[in-house]
Structure 1
Amino acid sequence: MGGEDPGTRERILVAAEELFAESGFDATPTSKIAARARVPKGLVHYYFARKQDLLAALVERLPDERIEPARIVVPGDLTASLCRLVAELDARMKASRLLSHLLWREADTHRAVRDALQERFRRVVDQVRAVIVAAGAGGLAVADVDAASGLLALAVSYRHSVARHEDEAGDPSMDREVAFIAGALTGRPVVR
């Protein structure tokens, strides 16, 4: 496929993302994707042999949630470190709200999407765990760190799954939740 045009492939992906988010994967024919992308239908199949391949390519576009802990950790301040992590994860997901909407919508009917979202969740748990450890919250029981990491990752994932329903002005922070988790881990309740 030496004659591929990355601009054409991108237009097809953008059109598919928009239409799948609007109508759902199953209700969107490739002819509609081609029309929205302003390309012949055959070109859609040139780049993506099956419609399922379009969905797989969109799954790969999920924002990378790997964040170097050293970039966001405030040594000795678990609450601030976790707040900075949540803000960074939120910023990355906000950059692709439409994609987020599409993937959460299709997770129930497409195993590849569900698997990708579960893998993303596991990476967020690992990221939270790394920040807790890097913030200097040493001496904590591994089970407590694991439980806190899972709880915060669940809260972040839930927010991202419903982000498309939130009004931009009414987007609540998770400062209270983060302070609660940090206080529970350190034994020092934080009032924010």
Structure 2
Amino acid sequence: MPRSATANQELRERSRERILAAALETFAAKGYEAASISDITAAAGVSRGLVSYYFATKEQLAAELLDRWLDGIAGILNIPGTPDERLAGIIDGALMAAATTLPIQRLAITLMMQPTTHDVFARVEQAKSARLSLVEDAIRDVFAARGAADPAVEEMLLRATLEGVTVKLAIYRETFPLEAIRTRLYAGYDLPAPTVPLPIVSPAVDRLRAK
């Protein structure tokens, strides 16, 4: 009996998601430049033709993953509450994302920083420019409501700080004291100290060392 149009669509979506998951796994294991479409095909357990049907190039795969990463950042637009509660939510959301989605964080960091792949990141970022501006403006509104003299600078500083935390966490995952850093960030912005720890492993160490 022929499959329905809905069943066919679900099958295509599952195949596409499997390919994207395999691409992220492969990029994380080998790095973007060293990974090949053949590696991704093998990891996904599908034919090369199927991968090419959805994604003509490796760059398209990376772009789709980055696109989703940027959409995840836009989640801060939905944080409710007072300016202080929203700022705490932004910090917590960024720290949780850094700790729980390290493969996509590493991919984004790599594409941003490597001269040979920076253009890939820049093209995706440009395509999302309007949505990212909404995110930036939302953070600036929080700082404006808290009385900051220059909300734009405060927004850029916060993002730079949180991105720096992400880089360090990606390098020192097993020794990064994320909860202590969270508490210090709260204090730096005169927020009430968090009463409940984030649901992630956060070692109590005084030296960052790779393992």
Task: Judge same fold: TM > 0.5, yes or no.
Answer: yes
Deviations 1:36-67 (A, max 9, x none): 10001111111111121111111112023342
RMSD of equivalent CA atoms: 3.0
1:124 Cα deviation from its structure 2 partner: 5.4
Quote the residue 1:98 is aligned against: 103
Structure 1 residues 156 and 169: CA distance shift in structure 2, 3 A: closer
Number of equivalenced pairs: 175
Q: Whose RCO is larger (CA < 8 A, sep 6+)?
A: 1
Instruction: Work out whether residues 17 and 98 of structure 1, in 8 Å CA contact, stay in contact via their aligned partners in 2.
Output: yes
Q: TM-score, normalised by structure 2?
A: 0.68
How far apart, in 1, do the equivalents of 2:97 and 2:111 lie?
20
Structure 2 unaligned blocks of 5 or more: 194-211
The counterpart of 2:82, out of the listed 73, 78, 81, is 73
Structure 1 unaligned blocks of 5 or more: 184-189
Quote the residue 1:13 is aligned against: 20
Instruction: Work out whether residues 97 and 164 of structure 1, in 8 Å CA contact, stay in contact via their aligned partners in 2.
Output: yes
Q: TM-score, normalised by structure 1?
A: 0.74
Quote the residue 1:187 is aligned against: none
How far apart, in 1, do the equivalents of 2:123 and 2:53 lie?
26
Q: Percent identity at matched positions? A: 26
Deviations 1:56-95 (A, max 9, x none): 1111120233424761435xxx4x5423320022223434
Say which SS state the counterpart of residue 56 (structure 2) adopts.
Answer: coil
Structure 1 residues 117 and 11: CA distance shift in structure 2, 3 A: same
1:106 Cα deviation from its structure 2 partner: 2.2
Structure 1 residues 86 and 19: CA distance shift in structure 2, 3 A: same
Deviations 1:138-169 (A, max 9, x none): 4x43x3x2222221111011112332232277
